[in-house]
Amino acid sequence: MFQNVDVDALRSTIDQASAGASTRQSVVLEGDWNFRDGQPQFAATLGTPRAGQVTLQADFPPHMGGNGLAPSAVQYCMYGAMACFASTFALVAALEGIGLRSLHVRSTADVNFARFFGLGEAPVIEALRWEVEVESDAPQEALDRLLQTAEERCPATWCLRNPVPVQASVRRR
């Protein structure tokens, strides 16, 4: 382990992929709307390889029709992207042997709900900004290269920069 990254396991996975093993993984998530007043509006239970099931709840703030009892879906979206980017940054640093004593990421965005309200076509989020702060003895050039590599490899960054087809359907239970 190096900086809470199992570098040996990561390198083994990369070696297997280099040798032709599949790099694909199917992800399926399911969740339910909560119809009880005064409760968070949505919940999903996600499985983890070691910790078992984890339930996440989402709720709009009161001015958006929710109860404000849990983070909003937009916060989770930003959190997921930020966590993916931070993870990618930390994993690349570990693979390259760049020592980090701390890694802090701040995510900011201006959200425009006009489209959600049916009041226009403006982008919901025009820009997502990540400010990365690290404590490290590595030279600034190495940190800049690390940032660039993390931006190039991060799955969430790729999804945000490239259109991902979304297909929705509805059926009766």
- Taking only the tens of pLDDT, the chain with its 173 residues reads 999 999 999 999 999 999 999 999 999 999 999 999 999 999 999 999 999 999 999 999 999 999 999 999 999 999 999 999 999 999 999 999 999 999 999 999 999 999 999 999 999 999 999 999 999 999 999 999 999 999 999 999 999 999 999 999 999 99
- Same domain flag for 80 and 117: yes
Please state, in angstroms and rounded to a whole number, the distance separating the CA atoms of residues 161 and 153. 12
Q: What are the Cα distances from residue 10, in Å, to 17, 71, 150, 152?
A: 11, 31, 15, 18
- Same domain flag for 79 and 66: no
- Same domain flag for 61 and 124: no
Tell me if 88 is assigned to some domain. yes
Asked if residues 47 and 56 have their Cβ atoms less than 8 Å apart, the reply is no
Tell me if 128 is assigned to some domain. yes
CB atoms within 10 A of CB 86: 19
